[in-house]
């Protein structure tokens, strides 16, 4: 089977509803579900879920295409977590019936680095500021900053984007601008330009800052870069044609005290779990704060059985 035919098959499979990642999978589901999936499936789900497939020269900004040129290569690298995290976000968006263009926001904000911090205060993969995090009930306390948790921050971001998507008549471009600048600024810009959300041209919202107006251009550039796949698309697709860990939300047991120990006990890679969950300072799990969740690679059924039988 040729690579193009394989991608076409995966694109067809992507028409099926995406499994939700927002809720913790029950143990029996984890044991019966595969621990990995092909990277082409993640790519297919992203392509199929876009609201806008246009990538002509008037859409893709040369400036931002150059700025984000490394994004496809990060997804192609087997030693990078970007593709697995991208898949987690795509699944979360599709479970909420949102366009997958929104999965490009963490590329714009943090280059898909869960531990990213900015000098101005935003933190995490989605670069949430403290006020926004509190508004969307992201837990923050000594030893745990939920903005650095892909679980908590993605839940908050998807909820917020769902609200914005409805506010702006399902226009992902306006919703993305509102994610960057706030919905009231975008509503004000629409009013001053004499436009309404259902027929607006974002480029005519000149009262918004240049940073906010560039936000959509950045996302278009990223979308087109992922469509083109770099200088050699066939080679890039071949690099995506590999098994990638399925990341899922897991509730920690009451007696868990460190990410490393819990990872070893459950048959997971401690280094990967630590990278995915920098919200836990020093990898320590502090109790007394209710249910705590981590983003972790799904464990293969044989590994689950082995960890259960281990003394």
Contact 272, 246 (CB under 8 A): no
Residue 180 has pLDDT above 80, yes or no: yes
- Do strands 243-245 and 36-38 pair parallel, antiparallel, or not at all (unpaired)? antiparallel
Total of domains in the chain: 1
Write down the pLDDT at residue 32.
Answer: 66
φ/ψ of residue 37, rounded to 5 = -145, 160
Q: Strand ranges (DSSP E) for the chain?
A: 36-38, 140-141, 144-145, 243-245, 247-251, 293-297
Percent of the chain with pLDDT strictly greater than 90: 75
Residue 19 has pLDDT above 70, yes or no: no
Contact 51, 220 (CB under 8 A): no
Residue 17 has pLDDT above 50, yes or no: no
Write down the pLDDT at residue 54.
Answer: 82
Contact 40, 247 (CB under 8 A): no
CATH code for position 240? 1.10.530.10
Determine the average pLDDT of the residues in 156-182.
97
Write down the pLDDT at residue 93.
Answer: 98
- Do strands 140-141 and 144-145 pair parallel, antiparallel, or not at all (unpaired)? antiparallel
Residue 13 has pLDDT above 80, yes or no: no
Per-residue pLDDT band for 287 (boundaries 50, 70, 90) equals confident
**Residue 105 forms part of a structural domain:** yes
Residue 7 has pLDDT above 60, yes or no: no
**Residue 55 forms part of a structural domain:** yes
Q: Which residue has the higher pLDDT, 120 or 299?
A: 299
Determine the average pLDDT of the residues in 278-299.
93
Write down the pLDDT at residue 63.
Answer: 87
Kindly report the pTM of this predicted structure.
0.87
Write down the pLDDT at residue 57.
Answer: 57
- Per-position DSSP letters for 188-247, written without gaps between them: HHHHHTT--GGG--GGG-TTS-HHHHHHHHHHHHHHHHHHHTSS-HHHHHHHH-SEEEPE
Write down the pLDDT at residue 10.
Answer: 47
What six digits make up the tokens of 122? 């935003």
- Per-position DSSP letters for 271-290, written without gaps between them: HHHHHH-TTBGGGB---SSS
Q: Which candidate, 176, 136, 158, places its Cα nearest to that of 22? A: 158
pLDDT digits (tens, 9 = 90+) for 41-63: 999 999 999 998 887 655 667 88
**Lowest-pLDDT choice from 26-40, 56-70, 98-112:** 26-40
Write down the pLDDT at residue 3.
Answer: 44
192 vs 163: CA distance, rounded Å:
23
**Residue 45 forms part of a structural domain:** yes
Determine the average pLDDT of the residues in 16-40.
61
pLDDT digits (tens, 9 = 90+) for 241-275: 999 999 999 999 999 999 999 999 999 999 999 99
What six digits make up the tokens of 143? 């030893």
- Domain assignment of residue 138, given as a range: 3-15+38-249
């Amino acid at each position: 089977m040729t690579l193009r035919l394989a991608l076409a098959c995966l694109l067809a499979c992507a028409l099926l509803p995406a499994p939700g990642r927002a809720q913790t999978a029950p143990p029996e589901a984890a044991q019966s579900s595969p621990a990995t999936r092909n990277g082409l499936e993640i790519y297919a789900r992203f392509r199929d879920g876009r609201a806008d497939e246009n990538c002509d020269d008037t859409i893709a900004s040369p400036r931002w295409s150059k700025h984000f040129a490394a994004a496809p290569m990060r997804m192609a690298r087997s030693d990078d977590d970007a593709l697995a995290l991208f898949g987690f976000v795509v699944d979360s968006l599709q479970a909420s019936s949102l366009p997958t263009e929104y999965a490009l926001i963490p590329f714009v904000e943090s280059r898909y680095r869960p531990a990213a911090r900015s000098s101005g205060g935003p933190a995490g993969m989605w670069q949430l500021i403290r006020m926004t995090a509190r508004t969307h009930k992201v837990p923050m306390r000594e030893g745990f900053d939920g903005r650095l948790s892909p679980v908590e921050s993605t839940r908050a971001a998807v909820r917020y984007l769902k609200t914005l998507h409805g506010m702006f008549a399902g226009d992902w471009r306006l919703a993305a601008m509102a994610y960057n600048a706030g919905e009231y600024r975008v509503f004000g810009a629409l009013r001053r330009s004499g436009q309404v959300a259902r027929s607006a041209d974002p480029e005519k919202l000149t009262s918004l800052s240049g940073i906010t107006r560039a936000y959509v251009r950045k996302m278009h550039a990223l979308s087109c870069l992922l469509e083109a796949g770099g200088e050699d698309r066939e080679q890039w697709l071949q690099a995506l044609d590999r098994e990638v860990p399925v990341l899922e939300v897991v509730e920690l047991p009451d007696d868990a005290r460190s990410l490393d120990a819990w990872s070893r006990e459950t048959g997971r890679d401690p280094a990967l779990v630590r990278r995915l969950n920098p919200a836990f300072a020093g990898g320590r799990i502090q109790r007394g704060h209710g249910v705590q969740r981590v983003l972790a690679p799904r464990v293969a059924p044989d590994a689950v059985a082995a960890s259960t039988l281990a003394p």
